[in-house]
Structure 1
Amino acid sequence: MKYYFFILFLVLAISSCSTSEDYAPKPRGYFRIEFPKKSYQLFTNQTPYSFEYPKYAKMYLDSANGNQPNWYNLTFPQFNARLHISYYPINSKQEFDKLVEDSRKLAFKHTVKATGIDEGLIKIPENKVYGIFYTIEGNTASSSQFLLTDSTKHFLRASLYFNEKPKEDSIQPIIKFIKTDIDRMIKTLKWSNN
């Protein structure tokens, strides 16, 4: 009986070592993502701001508890993503400073899971649009956040969220695709009372 186990072990050992083919691991595959063609439309809806947004996205009034006038959600149904847009009128320097600080805190709240947070300045003087774009890297709930203001009357803040467990490597192509739309939104933003 002992000899049978020894012979079985010996046969398995020899057969596992003598392969005629070279082994190469297969690369990891991902689902193919079909991106729609870029085309844009103007959003105004009697708000204190207007901008262009993609035709394949849907804009609707934020109906969550605590929402305020001129708060909207821009959804990307095919990517299960949503851009939350919050608008605040500025009434004082203290209020403006608090809004900027709150936006910074909300962006840096993701430092627990973020591998990096980059801040980019936004300056479009011809439209009186200034702000900060936060690119948040890593498996965080939000990958992009930004604030836009004219520094005197208007303040707009937005955050991109996916309705999925964050896995940066698998959603990176979608983030890049949507970031192009966000850039278009920022470049076409205009305040209505300027």
Structure 2
Amino acid sequence: MHNYFILLISLFLLSVSCNSDYTPKPRGYFRIDLPEREYKQTPEKLPYAFEYPVYSVLVNYRQTQPELYWINLVFPKFNATLHLSYKTIDNNLEEYLNDSRNFVYKHTVKADAISETPYLNAEKKVYGILYDIKGDAASNTQFFLTDSTHNFIRGALYFEVYPNKDSLAPVLDFINKDLVHLIETFEWN
């Protein structure tokens, strides 16, 4: 009987001591292989020129876009597209600037923060702002460039996936560095 009592107490202590608090495991994401950085030049038929990554595809949507020189820079490996909208200025620069700013700040509903980085290249007459939209916004990077008298271009990067800042962060950081290169090499033809 004494052994039975010790066995019962041992089983009770063993069952009580095995309770551990559950801690959720962090969510894992797929490893993304990023390509080497290498660039090529845009075709000469455009009223602007820049260097863009060789891992992307430049697509002219002249047939479906309302404007002649609107193009898309498609990143097939990352399921992303940079939409570039070109306009000629006809005493309406302020309208284009306001439109660009309004398009960016429509993302404040989902954005954690929006930062603006001005770009100025007086030698090439390229002026603009790069917008970095933090959080689960539909478009995390937008920019505009202008010579302030004749030409205006607006860019917006979209991913064809549900926005999740954690899973998109490595790809977004990688593409953003190439977009900065695009802006720094941009010039008007």
Query: What is the TM-score normalised by the length of structure 2?
Result: 0.87
Deviations 1:58-110 (A, max 9, x none): 00012575521110000000000000000001121xx1100000000000011
- Asked whether the 8 Å contact 2:62–2:68 carries over to 1, the reply is no
Give 2:171's match in structure 1, choosing from 174, 188, 191: 174
- Asked if 1:162 is matched to 2:155, the reply is no
1:113-152, aligned counterparts within 5 Å? 113-152=110-149
Give 2:112's aligned amino acid.
Answer: T
30 and 99 in structure 1: CA distance in 2 versus 1, 3 angstrom threshold: same
Asked if 2 retains the 8 angstrom alpha-carbon contact of 1:115 and 1:138, the reply is: yes
Partner letter of residue 31 of structure 2?
R
Closer, same or farther: CA 82–11 of 1 in aligned 2, 3 Å: farther
Partner of 2:32: 33
The answer to whether structure 1 residue 76 and structure 2 residue 75 are counterparts is yes
| Contact 1:128-1:150 within 8 A present in 2 as well | yes
CA separation of 1:23 and 1:49: change in aligned 2, threshold 3 A: same
Return the letter of the residue paired with 2:144.
Answer: L
Structure 1 residue 19: Cα displacement: 3.3
- Partner Cα distance (2:106, 2:86) in 1: 20
Structure 1 segments unaligned to the other structure (5+ residues): 1-9
| Deviation, structure 1 residue 120 | 1.3
Does the CA-based 8 Å contact 1:57-1:74 persist in structure 2? Answer: yes
Structure 1 residues 28 and 127, CA gap change in structure 2 (3 angstroms): same
Pairing 1:51-62 to 2, within 5 Å after superposition: 51-62=50-61
User: Which runs of at least 4 in structure 1 moved beyond 6 Å after TM superposition?
Assistant: 10-13, 20-24
Native 8 Å contact 1:88 1:156 kept in 2: yes
Residues 191, 13 of structure 1: alpha-carbon distance in 2 compared, 3 angstrom cutoff? farther
The count of aligned residue pairs is 181
In structure 2, runs of 5+ residues without a counterpart are: 1-8
Superposed CA RMSD in Å reads 2.5
The match for 1:101 is: 98
1:140 Cα deviation from its structure 2 partner: 0.6
3-state secondary structure, aligned to 1:32: coil
**Distance verdict in 2 for CA 1:102–1:46, change over 3 Å:** same
The Cα offsets for residues 96-155 of structure 1, whole Å up to 9 and x where unpaired, read as 100000000000011111111111111112211110111111101000000000111110
Once residues 117 and 110 of structure 1 are traced to their aligned partners in structure 2, the CA distance between those partners, rounded to angstroms, is 9
TM-score by length of 1: 0.85
C-alpha contact (below 8 Å) 1:60/1:72 kept by paired residues: yes
Q: CA deviation at 1:29?
A: 1.9
Aligned sequence identity (%): 44
